[in-house]
């Protein structure tokens, strides 16, 4: 079992990669609509999962130096093989922001006519939007008492997981309003 004082083996997210069908639609959404700058485009030919594949890999920077990254393959069959399996997937990338940043993103999405939703989870409030290829992007604002909630969760995380795995599926999120 991991010790709660153990230093994680990685310092930060480097990038989150996702396969897309149209790099220009992706660029427009992330750069023009959301405001993340395109900072690198790598065009490659390499062995990917047992086949030589040609692709374009773009990176859109976040403030901490990490990035959202996207692959577009030259061969549409490669895209279909390597893309997310289901648009109904719960897979998503969550990015931290502050209330002003979340409000600015909501305004940008509204101005672009792009649907989004906001959910108060109690421990954070999240704005969700789906990109042109079906990836859900979450912009999260921590609750004002996030430090206390984090401390409590760290102290109970293993016990709560054991409880859940043993079949006790009662909710434990008392931070969420009713």
CA-to-CA distance for 174 and 160, rounded, in angstroms?
A: 13
Q: What is the pLDDT of residues 10-55, one digit of tens each?
A: 778 888 999 999 999 999 999 999 999 999 999 999 888 899 999 9
User: Does residue 21 lie in a domain region?
Assistant: yes
**Number of structural domains the chain divides into:** 1
Establish if 126 belongs to a structural domain. yes
Cβ proximity of 60 and 31 under 8 Å: yes
pTM of the model: 0.79
Residue 124 lies in a domain: yes
Does some domain include residue 128? yes
| Residue-wise pLDDT tens digits, 121-149 | 888 899 999 999 888 899 999 999 988 98
Q: Which domain holds residue 68?
A: 15-142
What's the CATH number where 25 sits?
Answer: 3.10.180.10
Domain presence at residue 2: no
Residue 156 lies in a domain: no
3-class secondary structure, 159: helix
């Amino acid at each position: 079992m991991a010790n709660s004082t153990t230093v994680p083996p990685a310092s930060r997210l480097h990038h989150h990669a996702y396969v897309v069908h149209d790099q220009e639609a992706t660029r427009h959404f992330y750069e023009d609509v959301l405001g993340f700058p395109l900072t690198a485009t790598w065009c490659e030919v390499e062995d990917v999962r047992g086949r030589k594949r040609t692709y374009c890999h773009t990176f859109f920077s976040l403030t901490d130096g990490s990035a959202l990254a996207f692959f577009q393959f030259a061969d549409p069959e490669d895209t279909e093989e390597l893309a997310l399996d289901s648009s109904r997937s719960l897979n998503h990338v969550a990015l931290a922001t502050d209330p002003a940043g979340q409000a600015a993103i909501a305004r940008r999405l509204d101005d672009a006519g792009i649907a989004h939703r906001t959910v108060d989870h109690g421990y954070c409030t999240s704005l969700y939007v789906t990109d042109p290829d079906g990836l859900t992007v979450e912009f999260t604002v921590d609750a004002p008492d996030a430090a206390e909630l984090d401390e409590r969760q760290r102290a109970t995380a293993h016990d709560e997981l054991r409880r859940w795995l043993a079949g006790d599926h009662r909710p434990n999120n008392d931070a969420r309003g009713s």
